[in-house]
Chains A and B, each alone.
Chain A
């Protein structure tokens, strides 16, 4: 277990190094931050001076070395727009985004397993066909269209749900503003979570169904039937446990991807999260903020993948984590 963790930490450091290099290197191609920083009235000579002062004219490697040295001390630069440390600006927005992802993940887990299993057990039933049909639609329609459709139907026409923002939040653990503990906060979560889940949910239903159908054809499931076990035990223990192994692997990666998808959802719902912030940062050529965002999202990917590997090792007895007995 310890050896496994050490191995993963070393891997994570390498991955983070590559991510930082790539995300830092794009900053030269994002346009001129000076144009946003200073007004029209500043002369070219003064701009040049300012660039020198900020180190923007140094060679790339010198700039990166400076950035890396600071980054190791937890300083990812200062946002040009907010005039605050970029990491702090992003971490302030992190709870909003993570709650959005958490809500969507809950929807996906609660719905995809029963629907996927049912449509694998009864592939020819009307309900299964309907699920499969809707899942194709769900995969095909882009998130922003789903989001706008939801707003139109539930906020404008029916007036049941708020259309933007996080609503009322409460502070938990001192720093985390959560929308999960007030009725208003929960109401604000519903539509964004549904639209964020709308792409991944059909994918998961289809994945679980396909895996489950394959497992149901296996010899060990036939043997379980020949043992006279109840269908419930066969479907939900023998088959489901084997079905979930590949689903866990794919699912973990997809949760990471969902953090990236929030950019669209947050924009449509004016959700004050990281994704929304990132899009604003791009518009303002706020390079330190962009770089910091990419690094934070990269770190989230690395952490979720490590967790997924750990869980997979615990669920699948044929995988031995180094040192696990």
Chain B
């Protein structure tokens, strides 16, 4: 059994102007110790996916259907109390902006100890000892003084280390990291990323890495999913997705990388922009921007086609596969 299995997840926002489908038909699984990358443009639903795994969607978002099975238990149907025993304990989350994640009026120590006390029956003194130990693990210099300081007394990189320390406090099974390095200085990004990976590796923590940085995904993760307008449009081994993207959108993302540009030429980009969730085109959501658009793309939502180790939601790929098979069949008949 997979550690985490998401089945047919459907997330909606009940807005005054009507229901908006933020995530549709999300299916994926995560094994113990695995690293999974979630890639996509802003607004593709990556963060919503992260929050819905912990059933932490804020109003007016809600899980409208599907299952989130963590060790076989459905998080989408759990009581708030049961959920609390999982959040921060078995599955923890690291947020994007360390400047905003820590409470400005509580000390680092208070914010760490409270998490330990919420999940374990231990004394305050023991909790503080564990907190200090975790601060050492994330290489905070002189943790004994830092633990009694307030967030504003620390730098951004230091704060993200503390957020990571809080994420690892209970030795969770899964960490969901939502753009953990985006808000940081480029020089610190690599440092923080390495630290996080090392700690995940050492404790065999599974990592769901939400990012728009394809470089990080290719270096760090073994499997990846590409999201577009609330749907997973391609998922499979990271190497295959990076080297041999099937979906026209993923191909577009790859071509848009600055490394792919020829010096002196304009950078490549995908024309148009992602549709707002209230106004997703019928058929394939990518059809207005796609170079290979077919008639069927305007009418029908594409199902998944297997291609190598990947699953791709694209009519064009499906048709190519059919033609390929027909050709192979014809050869065999001959």
Please list the residues of chain A having a beta carbon within 8 angstroms of any beta carbon in chain B.
Answer: 217-220, 222-231, 233, 237-238, 241-242, 245, 315-318
B63 within 8 A of A: no
B86 within 8 A of A: yes
Please report the C-alpha to C-alpha distance between residue A69 and residue B150 in the assembled complex, in whole angstroms.
49
Please report the C-alpha to C-alpha distance between residue A279 and residue B166 in the assembled complex, in whole angstroms.
61
Contact of A226 among B56, B85, B106, B114 (CB under 8 A): B56
21 inter-chain pairs at a CB distance below 8 angstroms, sorted by A residue, are: A219-B97, A219-B101, A223-B102, A224-B103, A225-B56, A226-B87, A226-B88, A226-B93, A227-B115, A227-B118, A228-B85, A228-B119, A229-B88, A229-B115, A230-B84, A237-B106, A238-B103, A241-B103, A241-B105, A318-B104, A318-B150
Given the known inter-chain contacts A219-B100, A228-B89, please indicate yes or no for A317 contacting B115, CB distance below 8 A. Answer: no
B265 within 8 A of A: no
Q: Is the CB of A228 within 8 A of B105?
A: no
Beyond A226-B95, A227-B114, A318-B105, list 11 extra A-B contacts (CB 8 Å): A222-B58, A222-B95, A226-B88, A227-B115, A230-B84, A233-B114, A241-B105, A242-B105, A317-B105, A317-B107, A318-B152
- Tally chain B residues at the interface, Cβ within 8 Å: 31
Nearest first, the 4 closest Cβ-Cβ pairs linking A and B are A228-B88, A227-B88, A228-B87, A219-B100
Q: Closest residue of chain A to B104, judged by CB?
A: A318
Q: Closest residue of chain B to A124, judged by CB?
A: B59
Contact of B114 among A225, A229, A316 (CB under 8 A): A229
Q: Is the CB of A317 within 8 A of B95?
A: no
Q: Is the CB of B100 within 8 A of A220?
A: yes
Within the complex, the shortest CB–CB distance from B187 to chain A, in Å, comes to 24
Q: Is the CB of B102 within 8 A of A220?
A: yes
Please report the C-alpha to C-alpha distance between residue A270 and residue B197 in the assembled complex, in whole angstroms.
74
B54 within 8 A of A: yes
Hey, which chain A residues are within 8 Å of B246, CB to CB?
A: none
Q: Is the CB of A220 within 8 A of B114?
A: no
Please report the C-alpha to C-alpha distance between residue A270 and residue B118 in the assembled complex, in whole angstroms.
55
Hey, which chain B residues are within 8 Å of A226, CB to CB?
A: 54, 56, 87-88, 92-93, 95
Hey, which chain B residues are within 8 Å of A228, CB to CB?
A: 83-89, 115, 118-119
Within the complex, the shortest CB–CB distance from B77 to chain A, in Å, comes to 18
Given the known inter-chain contacts A222-B95, A226-B54, please indicate yes or no for A241 contacting B106, CB distance below 8 A. Answer: yes
Q: Is the CB of A242 within 8 A of B118?
A: no
Q: Is the CB of A229 within 8 A of B97?
A: no
Hey, which chain A residues are within 8 Å of B102, CB to CB?
A: 220, 223
Q: Is the CB of A227 within 8 A of B166?
A: yes
Please report the C-alpha to C-alpha distance between residue A245 and residue B104 in the assembled complex, in whole angstroms.
11
Within the complex, the shortest CB–CB distance from B227 to chain A, in Å, comes to 21
Q: Is the CB of A229 within 8 A of B58?
A: no
Hey, which chain A residues are within 8 Å of B97, CB to CB?
A: 219
Hey, which chain A residues are within 8 Å of B89, CB to CB?
A: 228
Q: Closest residue of chain A to B152, judged by CB?
A: A318
Contact of A316 among B58, B101, B105 (CB under 8 A): B105
Q: Is the CB of B95 within 8 A of A238?
A: no
